[in-house]
């Protein structure tokens, strides 16, 4: 008797969320831009649309020919200054020896020391200039600002860029669903609300639900009669940016016939329920509800159904 009671359920009218189907698009949580750090000409682009990159990966190389000329010039100046520094060091060592023997005055030694110190500092300054040019050359690499997927490569090899110009646009690895709800339903949408997500890419049946998500942001602005919200859903990493899918949003409450899970079954593409009399009836079901599923037609309040 207990087993029989456990395998039957009564069809009842219950209060459920009145859900409306709207279209949501897959959007990245953040869009990043890979920018050129120096002015010059793009010599190499090493990524294309759709590539996945990690933070710090080289996406392109910008070459400034003036840097090469500046490097040659500073190298020549360093060589000349090294010779001057070496001569100043020799003169200072000689003056120090002569001063010890009393051959020259202290003023002459001080002059030799000053020339040596100036030559040394000039050499350091030139070497610092060389390091600056080397760093500028290193900064010709356009680096990925974060991990994600390349959406657009905005320039081609041979393009002339200035410092700060965008070279590529990226989407971070974290995606959300962005939905637009008619203004009349805006009062029902709140952060934390559960959203039912339909089949990917507008496929599947009208009421098919494949996953669930939560509203994380409701934007406080109505644009062209619609309120915009972001929904956090797991498993969006392999979706295309901009891909659309159907979602179901609660816009109030209503009465509906519901049946617990496990009492509805499909056979040969038709949905059935089995009454306690043993008769199978064809039913049309709606969206899932807490602990069961909505029945649109085929059953009446008070009917007793049996698990198949």
How does DSSP classify residue 240? P
268 and 204 co-located in one domain? yes
152 and 185 co-located in one domain? no
pTM over 0.75: no
Binning the chain into helix, strand and coil, the percentages to the nearest 5 are 25, 45, 30
How does DSSP classify residue 277? T
Q: For residue 48, give its domain range.
A: 31-64+140-172
Assess whether pLDDT exceeds 80 at residue 291: no
Task: Give the tokens for residue 174.
Answer: 């974290």
**Mind listing the pLDDT tens digit for each residue in 178-206?**
998 888 887 888 888 888 888 776 555 56
280 bridge partner residues: 274
51 and 123 co-located in one domain? no
pLDDT category at 173 given cuts 50, 70, 90 is confident
Assess whether pLDDT exceeds 50 at residue 267: yes
53 and 94 co-located in one domain? no
Number of H helices, E strands in the chain: 3, 21
58 and 90 co-located in one domain? no
Question: β-strand 226-232 against 211-223: which pairing, if any?
Answer: antiparallel
C-alpha 67, offset from chain centre: 34
Q: Average the pLDDT over 74-99 and give the result.
A: 92
Mean of pLDDT over the chain:
87
161 and 213 co-located in one domain? no
187 and 254 co-located in one domain? yes
The CATH code of the domain that includes 22 is 2.40.30.170
131 and 9 co-located in one domain? no
The CATH code of the domain that includes 150 is 2.40.50.100
Could you give the CA distance from residue 66 to residue 40 in angstroms, rounded to a whole number? 9
205 and 240 co-located in one domain? yes
Assess whether pLDDT exceeds 70 at residue 220: yes
Could you give the CA distance from residue 196 to residue 237 in angstroms, rounded to a whole number? 18
The CATH code of the domain that includes 110 is 1.10.287
The pLDDT score that the predictor gives to residue 16 is 82
How does DSSP classify residue 87? H
Number of domains the chain is built from:
3
Q: Average the pLDDT over 234-261 and give the result.
A: 84
pLDDT category at 207 given cuts 50, 70, 90 is low
Assess whether pLDDT exceeds 80 at residue 4: no
Could you give the CA distance from residue 62 to residue 38 in angstroms, rounded to a whole number? 7
The pLDDT score that the predictor gives to residue 299 is 87
3's enclosing H/E stretch is helix 2-6
82 and 97 co-located in one domain? yes
Assess whether pLDDT exceeds 50 at residue 5: no
CA proximity to 178, closest of 135, 241, 128: 241
79 and 131 co-located in one domain? yes
């Amino acid at each position: 008797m207990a087993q029989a009671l456990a395998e039957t359920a009564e069809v009842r009218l219950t209060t459920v969320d009145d859900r409306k189907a709207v279209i949501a698009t897959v959007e990245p949580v953040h869009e990043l831009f890979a920018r050129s750090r120096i002015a010059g000409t793009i010599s190499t682009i090493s990524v294309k649309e759709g590539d996945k990159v990690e933070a710090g990966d080289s996406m392109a190389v910008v070459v400034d020919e003036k840097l090469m000329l500046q490097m040659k010039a500073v190298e020549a100046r360093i060589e000349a200054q090294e010779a001057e520094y070496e001569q100043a060091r020799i003169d200072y060592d000689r003056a120090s020896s002569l001063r010890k023997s009393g051959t020259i005055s202290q003023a002459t030694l001080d002059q030799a020391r000053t020339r040596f110190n100036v030559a040394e500092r000039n050499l350091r300054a030139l070497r610092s200039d060389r390091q600056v040019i080397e760093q500028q050359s290193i900064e010709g690499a356009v680096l990925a600002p974060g991990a994600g997927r390349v959406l657009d490569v905005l320039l081609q090899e041979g393009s002339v860029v200035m410092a700060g110009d965008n070279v590529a646009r990226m989407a971070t690895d974290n995606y959300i669903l962005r939905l637009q709800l008619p203004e009349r339903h805006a009062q029902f949408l709140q952060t934390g609300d559960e959203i039912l997500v339909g089949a990917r890419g507008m496929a599947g049946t009208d009421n098919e639900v494949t996953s669930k998500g939560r509203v994380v942001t409701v934007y406080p602005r109505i644009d062209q009669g619609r309120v915009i919200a972001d929904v956090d859903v797991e498993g969006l990493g392999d979706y295309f940016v901009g891909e659309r899918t159907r979602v179901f949003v609660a816009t109030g409450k209503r009465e509906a016939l519901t049946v617990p899970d496990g009492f509805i079954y499909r056979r040969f593409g038709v949905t059935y329920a089995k009454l306690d009399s043993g008769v199978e009836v064809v039913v049309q079901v709606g969206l899932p509800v807490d602990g069961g599923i909505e029945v649109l037609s085929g059953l009446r309040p008070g009917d007793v159904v049996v698990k198949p």
